[in-house]
Amino acid sequence: MIKKGHRKIILVNGNVEYTQSEKRRTGYSMAFHDNGLNFSEDWIINVPMLEEQGYRAFLRTIKEIPDFTAVVTFNDTIAVGVLRALKESNLHVPSRVAVVSAGNTMITRIHSPAITSLDMGAYEIGSKAADLLIDVIEKKRIQPSHEIIQTHLVERESS
């Protein structure tokens, strides 16, 4: 988003008690810092990870911070709520506001506009977890390991 010229980017994050929410908040602030930009803590909204909560929280945000140009959401479900709030507020996506989510679930492809989303390798994670579970069930010797799953941004209509 920053590379596309956005400077006021809202993060609609998950619940603060989730480790992933804190990691995404850290990544968000690092992106600004690494690009020599400032951001406000007011630009970070923590919500339960549901469409309705994303919608309600973002309606308030639109009134409180009217000059934002982009939104990053914790997951695709929250993005749907954000997009509904933007539509009701007559803020066109992507010409006025760009939206990017995380998860790349099926909803990102069938929603209108289709949602740009970070694919975090859910299939690969599930496959590796299933293999590990089978090894545990079969009482195989398991060595501790650290796996890195590649992610990639799937650009669609919302950005």
For residue range 111-123, list pLDDT tens digits in order.
999 999 999 867 7
The pLDDT tens digits of the residues spanning 47-77 come to 987 788 889 889 999 999 989 999 999 999 9
118: domain range? 2-122+150-154
Nearest to 65 by CA among 41, 32, 81: 41
- CATH number for the domain harbouring residue 39: 3.40.50.2300
Exposed / middle / buried, residue 39 (Cβ in 10 Å: 0-12, 13-18, 19+):
middle
129 located within any domain:
no
Tally the domains of the chain: 1
pTM value is 0.86
